[in-house]
Amino acid sequence: MQTFYLPNQDLLQDKIILVTGAGSGIGAMAAKTFAQYGATVILLGRTVHKLEVLYDQIEAAGYPQAAIYPMNLEGATAKDYADLALNIENEFGRLDGLLHNAAILGTLTPLPLYDMELWFKVMQVNLHAPYFLTRVCLPLLKKSSSASVVFTSDNVSKQAKAYWGAYSVSKAGVDNMMQIFAEELCENTAIRVNSFNPGKIKTAMRKQAYPGEDNSTLKSPEALAWAYLFLFGKDSQTYTGQYFTEYTLQEMITNP
Ligand SMILES: NC(=O)c1ccc[n+]([C@@H]2O[C@H](COP(=O)([O-])OP(=O)(O)OC[C@H]3O[C@@H](n4cnc5c(N)ncnc54)[C@H](OP(=O)(O)O)[C@@H]3O)[C@@H](O)[C@H]2O)c1
- Helix 246-254 and helix 225-232, axial crossing angle in degrees, nearest 10: 60
**What's the pLDDT at 67?**
98
**What's the pLDDT at 1?**
67
* Strand boundaries in the chain, DSSP class E: 16-20, 40-45, 67-70, 97-100, 147-152, 191-197, 243-245
- Output the CA–CA distances (angstroms, integers) from residue 136 to 133, 142, 221, in the order listed: 5, 11, 28
Q: Do residues 65 and 40 lie in contact, with contact meaning Cβ atoms separated by under 8 Å?
A: yes
Among candidate residues 167, 210, 243, 247, the one labeled active-site is 167
| Interatomic CA distance for residues 163 and 169, integer angstroms | 11
| Interatomic CA distance for residues 171 and 156, integer angstroms | 7
What residue's CA is closest to ligand 1, atom 43? 21
Atom of ligand 1 nearest to the CA of 200: 3
107 lines ligand 1 (CB under 6 A): no
Distance 21 CA to ligand 1 centre (A): 6
- Which amino acid is located at 100 in the chain? H
**What's the pLDDT at 3?**
78
Query: Distance between alpha carbon 54 and the CA centroid of its chain, in Å?
Result: 16
Distance 234 CA to ligand 1 centre (A): 26
Q: Work out whether the CA dihedral 35, 222, 50, 97 comes out positive or negative.
A: positive
| Interatomic CA distance for residues 69 and 48, integer angstroms | 8
Q: Do residues 96 and 18 lie in contact, with contact meaning Cβ atoms separated by under 8 Å?
A: no
170 lines ligand 1 (CB under 6 A): no
pTM above 0.95, yes or no: yes
206 lines ligand 1 (CB under 6 A): yes
Query: Distance between alpha carbon 104 and the CA centroid of its chain, in Å?
Result: 13
Q: Do residues 30 and 110 lie in contact, with contact meaning Cβ atoms separated by under 8 Å?
A: no
Query: Distance between alpha carbon 4 and the CA centroid of its chain, in Å?
Result: 22
What residue's CA is closest to ligand 1, atom 9? 152
Ordered structural domains, the chain, with CATH: 16-254 (3.40.50.720)
- Which amino acid is located at 242 in the chain? Q
Q: pLDDT tens for the chain, 256 residues: list them.
A: 677 899 999 999 999 999 999 999 999 999 999 999 999 999 999 999 999 999 999 999 999 999 999 999 999 999 999 999 999 999 999 999 999 999 999 999 999 999 999 999 999 999 999 999 999 999 999 999 999 999 999 999 999 999 999 999 999 999 999 999 999 999 999 999 999 999 999 999 999 999 999 999 999 999 999 999 999 999 999 999 999 999 999 999 998 7
What 3-state class would DSSP assign to 159?
coil
Which of 228, 227, 229 lies closest to 250, judged by CA? 227
Atom of ligand 1 nearest to the CA of 208: 20
Provide the 10 A C-beta neighbour count for residue 66: 25
Which of 44, 43, 160 lies closest to 111, judged by CA? 160
What 3-state class would DSSP assign to 222?
helix
Which of 241, 249, 128, 106 lies closest to 179, judged by CA? 241
167 among known catalytic residues? yes
* Strand boundaries in 74-167, DSSP class E: 97-100, 147-152
- Output the CA–CA distances (angstroms, integers) from residue 229 to 55, 104, 122, 246, in the order listed: 19, 24, 28, 12
